[in-house]
Amino acid sequence: MDPPRKRIIVIIGGGVIGCTTAYFLTRHPKFDPELHTLILLEAASIAAGASGKAGGLLGLWAYPECLVPLSYRLHRELAGKHGGAERWGYRRLGCASVRAMVKSSDLKSRSEQKPPQTSLVPVPVPVPVHVPVPKDESKTWEKLPKQDEKAAALLSESSLPSDLDWVDGKLINHYEEMGLPGFTETAQVHPFDFTNSMADLAREKGVDIRLRAKVTKINHSKAGVRSIEYEDRDKAGEIRFIDDVTDVVIAAGPWTGKLLPRSKVEGLKSHSVVFDADVSPYAVFTEIQLPTDYVPEHRAARGQKRKHRGNVDPEIYARPGNEVYACGEHDWSTPLPETADLVQPDEVQCDDLIAYIGTVSPVLGAAPIKAKQACYLPRHVRFGEDRGPLIGQTTVPGLWVASGHTCWGIQNGPATGCLMSELLLDGATHSADIDKLHPKKFKV
């Protein structure tokens, strides 16, 4: 038997996939800090992208099936081992889909019930800016790919729970619960806290985490990887090198395609908002039919029409710590920037989301806004279709990829990290069969 060899393993990306990979490598029985040097390079900060701005929903009904059961279980085990309930907000919660019909009279009566302005300070009236939205730009709402057909089939019709009191029950004409115990369970974490906790726990075991380190080149040949070049963004763009690299794991989310174009991983921009509100623990997928004459106040003030025709479908997740997260549709208009800290939200799109949610939830409609934000979800796209994540070694020995998880990166992060540790240190996976996700199947 050959003696164990020294290895320098570089992980590119400080999102949930990179951080869980670092964590599970340091917990693998074969990990030896005398032999294994682990370096994680992140171009901005830990969880600067989607891993910090996602909803953090976990579901046994998620996809792909080869990852979900393992990852859902690992989330529970990690929370039990490291105090996840307190540290990163792990908990079970109810999950449902609702259909609501909002009439003009509903909004009018609600407006009439608002308390009168009591401030003695004169409130300036904004001058409307007439920037109409052309008719041909009115569009239907584009759903995020969270619930696939299998998940939708698991919904069961039921009545609106009494504790889901932050949704106006008078407007709900259909409520379906996602709730078969042990089969369609739903839980959650706070994604920013979870990802940073995984990074901290990996660092405690010796992982060298370098922030604001933007990888510019992976030097390799057909024989394998050799070195990494990266820009030190804190040193005026100074280029640094890591030599004698044996393994590189590209877990750079939507930036994976920049480093490895043949991976076909690209970014899908999504906007979200965070409300400052303490409500009962539910994740709610909505389908809201708005009045034909309804125009959100922020657009009316600009002389604009409503952007969306027909129904709108925001997703709303209550979170611990007096937070409610909500996300909207995807956005194709803005290209992926160089680094995650350069992503800018479109405030008007965030305001659309806030307004639509306010039509069915007076509680959230009156709540302060903690954040308006945007991120890019990593999609592995072939022939115009999402093909699921890529996990494994590419055609180059020692060059690995773990990316393309779309909207289920937080859910499937622990399984991906665990399986990557097995691939790197055992040479094969034992915890799940992920052959269908192998990069070589796609000639990556």
48 residue type, one letter: A
Antiparallel, parallel or unpaired: β 315-319 and 369-382: unpaired
Q: Distance of CA 78 to CAs 8, 48, 394, 431, Å?
A: 26, 22, 29, 16
Please give the Cα distance from 286 to 342 (Å, whole number): 30
Please give the Cα distance from 304 to 398 (Å, whole number): 54
pLDDT in tens, 399-437: 999 999 999 999 999 999 999 999 999 999 999 999 999
Q: Distance of CA 363 to CAs 164, 327, 426, Å?
A: 11, 17, 52
pLDDT in tens, 76-135: 999 999 999 999 999 999 999 999 999 999 898 777 666 543 333 333 333 333 334 444
Tell me what pLDDT residue 120 has: 39
To 5 degrees, how large is the angle CA 343–CA 275–CA 14?
35
pLDDT in tens, 205-233: 999 999 999 999 999 999 999 999 999 99
pTM: 0.90
Average pLDDT over residues 381-401: 92
168 residue type, one letter: D
Tell me what pLDDT residue 181 has: 60
- For the cut 70, the answer to whether the pLDDT of residue 159 exceeds it is yes
* SS3 (DSSP) at 1: coil
CA atoms within 13 A on the CB side of 24: 27
